[in-house]
Chains A and B, each alone.
Chain A
Amino acid sequence: MLRSLVRLQSHVGSILSPSHMCPRSQQFRFALNYSSATAERRRFYQDVSISQGEGGLYEINLDRRKLKTPGGKLFTVPNEALAIAIATEWDAQRDTLKFYTMHLSTLCNTALDNPTQRNKDQMISAALKFLDTDTVCYRVDEPHSLVELQKNEWDPVLHWMENRYNVTIGSSSSILGPEIPKATKDTFRQHLNSYTFWSLTGLEYVITQLKSVVLSMGMIDRHLTVEQAVLLSRLEEEYQIQHWGSVEWAHDYDMFELRARTAAGALFVHLTSESSTVKRKLMQD
């Protein structure tokens, strides 16, 4: 059902696409391009390569054509590592293009097109909203073994976070969650302000995947690996799996998808925020 709907939509999109007359239809086309993320296209190119264009930005070339974003902009990324990772994603596609497996390309498209037209402040607010309902701050009262598990697994990360940023977060088992002091949010807001627009796009993506600011920051600060962060984010589910057994087509499927998305987000943040410099040893007389 869903698939046929998507096919219908892309069909409608191709009929409408020649009409550039009014901005509204263009906006509509824009939305369609984004909604067709689950649709599959035939692979229309042989070679994928990268090249450095104006301003030192890297571009992706499919055969001789330059890759563009769904919004029609030239697809450019700030550094070589990211360009190569994206070229690998495009090269990895077999007969059809599976856009839902190309997480890094998707993130770049989002950062370049900014389809929701937001600025940095709005993104930071959206990201920090998750702190109020952070996964690791909500605890259960029963059963006893799960209470213990949450305490043993989540507390160390929470404490590490509180020490690292010198803030108070705390946890609670009430339905309202813990009371997060304003000072904590201000600290995080200030910290997130130091990120670039691109890194924030990645960071917000990770936070919405893990449903936790604490786990996301723990991973971005390289305190946790992706596997650990995903495990901690799914702690209650893992607990239930221990009791009731794992179902491959639901549990494992979800977990690997979450891992892939989280890893892509984390890599995206790191690659767009770092600047690597080579420092040579001083000559000694």
Chain B
Amino acid sequence: MAALSSPLRTCRGILKELRALQGPTYKRSLAYNYVMEQFRKNKVTGERYCRAQHEASHDSHTYLCLLASTRTHMALHNLYHAKGEISIEQSAGLVGLRLPTQPGGKGWEK
């Protein structure tokens, strides 16, 4: 069985991601209310909510992973890939190379 972090941590993680997406008014969003409601409902109480706790926990973990990965992926995308085609110098620089500059070097011949 998959090792999952505690529901509280997952819940906090999701709320953090929602806040990053929606800014300070995130508490008024649909998703915030739904997530809070679900986490409250699925707490173990005398009244048993007929859904295995593990399932709910796994799903919330999956949703957290979706939000966090999409955010990180976008950040990497904007950092490296969103600026259109980069120059030859920059692409050489990415792999730690420099273009020859001195006259008479390779690529200089007429």
Contact = CB atoms under 8 A, between A and B. Distances in A.
B31 A84 contact: yes
Contact of B47 (A225, A226, A263, A281): A281
Contacts of B62: 225-226, 263, 266-267, 270
A80 interface: yes
Size range of the interface on B? Answer: 35 or more
A279 B55 CA distance: 16
B72 A256 contact: yes
A36 to B, nearest CB: 18
A281 B46 contact: yes
A81 B2 contact: no
B44 interface: no
Contacts of A249: 76, 79-81, 94
Interface in B49-68: 49-51, 54-55, 58-59, 61-63, 65-66
B50 A252 contact: no
Given A1-B85, A259-B65, A259-B69, A276 B51 contact: yes
State the main secondary structure of chain A at its contact with B: helix
B34 A84 contact: yes
Nearest to A266: B62
Contacts of A81: 34, 38
Nearest to B70: A260
Interface residues of A, number: 44
Interface string A48-81: 0110000000000000000000000000000011
B48 interface: yes
Contact of B70 (A84, A103, A226, A281): A103
A279 B46 CA distance: 12
A228 B2 contact: yes
Contacts of A85: 31, 63
A280 interface: yes
Interface stretch (A86-94, A135-143, A180-188, A209-217): A86-94
Given A91-B22, A281-B47, A223 B66 contact: no
A1 B86 CA distance: 12
Contact of A49 (B1, B30, B54): B30
B76 A87 contact: no
A189 interface: no
Contacts of A92: 21-22
